[in-house]
Each structure stands twice: as structure tokens, then as C-alpha cells.
Chain A
Amino acid sequence: MMTLEGVIAAVLILSVAYFLFQSTMIISPVSDEVVYVQMRQYGQDALTIINSQTGAEDTLQYALKRINSTYTPYELLNSLEKLLPDYTDFNLQVYYVNMTTNEIEVYNITNRIPTSTTVTASTYLVIRNGNSLMIPPSSSIQQALRVPMPMSPYCWR
């Protein structure tokens, strides 16, 4: 004799569950955000480590003073690969203000194709007395640089 009440109860619970799922399931890419934050932190830490004036070959300062079409900073890229987690793919770019044209120019140290799941860590630094694209030997003035590093994990390709 309880059939009618049973049916009503079932319909009530089902409709509540349906309503709730419909309203809360909109926010789903939370795990992505957490991974982004973590990756950016890794990248930022790696860039902080290699952004130093020590004169070691794997520092940004050393590499960016010498970088041109013939010099590729393998030591720097090797160190970055060791510092970042194994599943990470990264690009390294340099933004600088061209002294003669007064425009911002970009130099890509690596040329990997970015994916849709890219997150970028970046650092700023200043170099002086170099022989590279950003700072020619004749230049006596300093050059401020922005070094962004877009990173993406392999497993999401």
C-alpha cells in the first residue's frame, strides 16, 4: 500500500539530485588550475636559480650576453631541463627594447610549438657589456630584458 509514497519519495530525491548536478557540475577544470599553479611555481623557481650574476655558464646573464645566431646556450637549457619536472616541455624567449628603433623585439632561444595548456613563468634582468643580439659590443648602456618561459606538460598533448 506504500507504492504511491515510495514513488513520490523516489521522484523527490531524483529531482533534487538532478537539480544539484546540473548547477554544480559547471566548474570542472579545477585540477587544471592546480597543475598550472604548481608548474608556474616550478618554472619561477628554476628561473630564479639561473638568474644570477655568478658568471657560471648556465646562468641567464652569461648566456644572454653572448647569444646570437652562432651561439646556442646548451648549458643553460640543460640546467633548465634538470631543474624542471621530467614531464615538462618549455620554450625560452627574450623580450628587449631595441635601442635604435625603440621598439620591443623578441628573440626565441628555443622554438617549440606551444600547446593550449601552456603556462608561463617569467623573470626580468639587466645585462651590460655583452656581444649578442640584445647588447652589441659597441653598446655602453645597459639592456633590460624580460625572459618568459612558456611551459606545457607532455601528458596533455
Chain B
Amino acid sequence: MESLKDRGTEGQIIITMALMISILLAGLSYVYSQNLLAGTETSITQLNFPKNEIRDLRRIAIEELTDYASEPSSFLDRAKELDRQITTLYALHGAYASIDVFDIKRSVVGGQESITSFMVRIVFSNTEVEYEETISVQLT
């Protein structure tokens, strides 16, 4: 049996080593490019995800409507006007948003009308996210 030192086999070792280095390079480059892609995807998702838009919508819906409920006579009108403005402003950036009030419960105590509870449906949708939530707001 011939040893590796013999003529004719050292050349094969060089070629084999080159092949191994090539495979290693390809593997490393694959991992590297996957890493870059993951980073890009993550940042794009973070930039596009409308977390704050939805949070603002919820905050406005609950805070404002609770406040308007102190005047039962104009409550629905103001809620509708708020919905109209919010829808217009959100539409400016390619999203649909709406605040719908329904199931308003009123009570009359001593001739004075007041709202005791209402339901509000919050809808937000854009090309990536669809969000819908129905909240029951209890007053008093």
C-alpha cells in the first residue's frame, strides 16, 4: 500500500482541501446572509407595525367617550363627529379606523338623565393588521 507521501496523492490533498474551504465559505456566507435578512425583516416589521396607532385609537375612544357621556343630550352627535374625524385622519395614512358607539344605557334620576353604560367597537385595519375590539364602558 502506498503512503500519502508518495507522488501523485499530494495534489489530491490540495484539491480536497480547496473543496472543503469552498464548502465552508459557502456555509458561512449562507449563515451571514440569513442573519442580514432576519435583521432587515425584523426592523421592517418594527417600523411598519401600527402598535402606537392602535394604542392611540383605544386611548382616544375610551377617554373621550367617557368624557362626552357626562352630557347625554349631545353624546351621540359628538361620538359620531369624533368617529368621522378619526376615520379621516387615519385614512390619510392608508389605514381604516373607526369608533362605533352602541347599546347606550340611560337612567333618569330625579328628572335628570344620565348615561350609565355604553359599548364601543374599535376597528383598525391596514394592509398588514386587522384589529377589532368591543369594550363595555361602565359609568358611575
Residues of A within 8 A of B (CB): 1-2, 4-6, 8-10, 12-13, 16-17, 20, 23-24, 27, 30, 33-34, 36-37, 40, 44, 48, 53, 95-97, 104, 119, 121-126, 141-146
Contacts and interface: CB of A to CB of B under 8 A. Distances in A.
B89 A146 contact: yes
A122 B51 CA distance: 11
Interface stretch (B80-88, B105-113, B126-134): B80-88
Given A17-B25, A20-B25, A104-B92, A8 B18 contact: yes
A97 B36 contact: no
Interface string B35-47: 0110110011011
A37 B46 contact: yes
Given A5-B11, A13-B22, A104-B92, A36 B81 contact: no
B15 interface: yes
Contact of B81 (A6, A13, A24, A141): A141
A97 B33 CA distance: 46
B78 to A, nearest CB: 7
27 contacts: A1-B7, A1-B11, A4-B11, A5-B14, A5-B15, A8-B15, A9-B17, A12-B15, A13-B18, A13-B22, A20-B25, A23-B33, A27-B33, A30-B40, A30-B43, A33-B39, A33-B44, A40-B46, A40-B47, A95-B92, A97-B84, A97-B88, A124-B56, A141-B78, A142-B78, A144-B86, A146-B92
Contacts of B53: 124
Contacts of A97: 84-85, 88-89
Interface residues of B, number: 40
B33 A124 contact: no
B57 A5 contact: no
A122 to B, nearest CB: 8
B138 interface: no
Contact of A126 (B18, B22, B60, B88): B60
Given A17-B25, A24-B32, A95-B89, 9 more contacts: A5-B10, A13-B25, A27-B40, A30-B43, A34-B43, A96-B89, A97-B85, A124-B86, A146-B92
Contacts of A2: 10-11, 14
Contact of B52 (A1, A44, A126): A44
Nearest to A29: B40
B68 to A, nearest CB: 8
